[in-house]
């Protein structure tokens, strides 16, 4: 952040620090930690061109999703939430906030680790190392693009049927845990990869055989979960991006929330039976979830563009 950005809210942070020490009787270390987290939040608001007095619960949600995308661990997120609660008390006392919106934030339990997520740039790096000059390379690009863009479990990608890919509607019918089915939209990039695989590369491998699964191995047999895992390991080594196949699913959820999607929509997309499983990405009280407006999934590349976005709508759709 530059000096001009800092100077605009430095007096507020200075007063907040004094309030923590003199009114709230916090320790110097706690006051410093809370001020640092609050500065991060104010800097984020600057970048989003969002006024502090206009902040509501959903803004805090988006901020935490962004922090998680930046690689912040569970302990840091918990400290951020504590800091935002204290900052909210201060802002309400000053009349800047009508109520302390941060009180609705639910701190993560120390016993549950937050899922690792990749940045959009890391996803790009990972997918860009795929050699699409071969049929199997075309398959891998389509496969991992679809896992990321649709938030699929590895078992769901492995079992996806050709008959359940609907290009006209840009939807796939996914069979998840407990044989539960859900419809998940896909965007133009995933569509392009799937069509190239199904129409050009896959026929070279399966020939005239009728194989119901979308993804097959070099023998033309259904690609197993172990096969997907091994192929992903090769991409991990080539790209230098440390991740697991399931990390793409976690990244999908986090990027959705960063783009403005509400938790209920993300729950449907991920196929979670319990909203509390989805809530690990935000730690927001259930009572506030219905208030968050639906957004969009930015994907990677030119985010927000109809031509390049990876998911067309968050309205459909455990780790």
> Virtual CA dihedral for 34, 77, 108, 291, nearest 10 degrees?
90
User: Which residue among 17, 34, 148, 281 is the active-site one?
Assistant: 281
User: Which residue among 153, 202, 283, 300 is the active-site one?
Assistant: 153
Cβ count near 38 (within 10 Å): 24
Task: State how far the Cα of 257 lies from the Cα of 260, in Å rounded to an integer.
Answer: 5
Task: State how far the Cα of 146 lies from the Cα of 135, in Å rounded to an integer.
Answer: 17
Cβ count near 102 (within 10 Å): 23
Q: Is residue 165 within a helix (H) or strand (E), and if so which, with residue range?
A: strand 165-166
CB 34 within 8 A of CB 13: no
User: Which residue among 170, 175, 246, 264 is the active-site one?
Assistant: 246
Query: Residue 177 catalytic?
Result: yes
Query: Residue 225 catalytic?
Result: no
| Beta bridge mates, 184 | 172
Query: Residue 113 catalytic?
Result: no
User: Which residue among 249, 250, 283, 310 is the active-site one?
Assistant: 249
| Displacement of CA 80 from its chain's centroid (Å) | 19
User: Which residue among 67, 250, 272, 300 is the active-site one?
Assistant: 272
| Beta bridge mates, 165 | 172
CB 206 within 8 A of CB 220: yes
The burial of 8, by beta-carbon neighbours within 10 Å (0-12 exposed, 13-18 middle, 19 or more buried), is given as exposed
Q: What is 226-239 written as a DSSP string?
A: HHHHHHHHHHHHHH
Nearest of 41, 140, 49 to residue 91 by alpha carbon: 41
Report helix angle 135-150 to 120-128, nearest 10.
160
Query: Residue 281 catalytic?
Result: yes
User: Which residue among 14, 47, 48, 177 is the active-site one?
Assistant: 177
Task: State how far the Cα of 246 lies from the Cα of 243, in Å rounded to an integer.
Answer: 8
User: Active-site residues: which are they?
Assistant: 153, 177, 246, 249, 272, 281
């Amino acid at each position: 952040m530059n000096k001009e950005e800092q100077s605009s809210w430095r007096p507020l942070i200075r007063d907040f620090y004094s309030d923590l020490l003199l009114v709230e009787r916090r320790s110097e270390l706690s006051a410093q930690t809370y001020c640092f987290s609050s500065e991060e939040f104010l800097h984020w608001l600057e970048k989003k061109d969002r006024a502090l007095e206009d902040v509501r619960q959903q803004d805090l949600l988006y901020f935490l999703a962004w922090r998680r995308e930046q690689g912040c661990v569970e302990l840091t997120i918990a400290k951020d939430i504590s800091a935002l609660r204290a900052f909210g008390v201060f802002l309400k006392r000053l009349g800047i906030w009508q109520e302390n919106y941060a009180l609705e934030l639910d701190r993560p339990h120390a016993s549950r680790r937050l899922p690792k997520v990749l940045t959009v740039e890391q996803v790009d790096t990972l997918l860009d190392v795929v050699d699409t000059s071969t049929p199997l390379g075309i398959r891998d690009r389509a496969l991992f693009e679809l896992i990321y863009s649709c938030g699929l479990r590895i078992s769901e990608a492995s079992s996806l049927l050709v008959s359940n890919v609907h290009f006209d509607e840009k939807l796939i019918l996914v069979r998840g845990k407990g044989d539960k089915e859900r419809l998940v939209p896909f965007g133009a990039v995933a569509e392009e990869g799937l069509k190239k695989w199904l129409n050009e590369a896959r026929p070279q491998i399966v020939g005239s055989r009728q194989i119901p699964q979308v993804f097959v191995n070099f023998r033309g047999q259904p690609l197993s979960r172990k096969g997907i895992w091994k192929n992903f390991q090769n991409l991990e080594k080539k790209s230098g991006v440390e991740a697991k196949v399931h990390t793409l699913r976690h990244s999908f959820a986090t990027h959705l929330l960063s783009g403005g999607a509400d938790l209920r929509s993300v729950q449907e997309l991920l196929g979670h039976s319990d909203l509390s499983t989805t809530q690990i990405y935000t730690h927001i009280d259930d009572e506030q979830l219905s208030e968050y407006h639906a957004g969009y999934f930015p994907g990677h590349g030119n985010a927000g563009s109809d031509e390049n976005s990876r998911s067309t709508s968050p309205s459909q759709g455990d780790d």
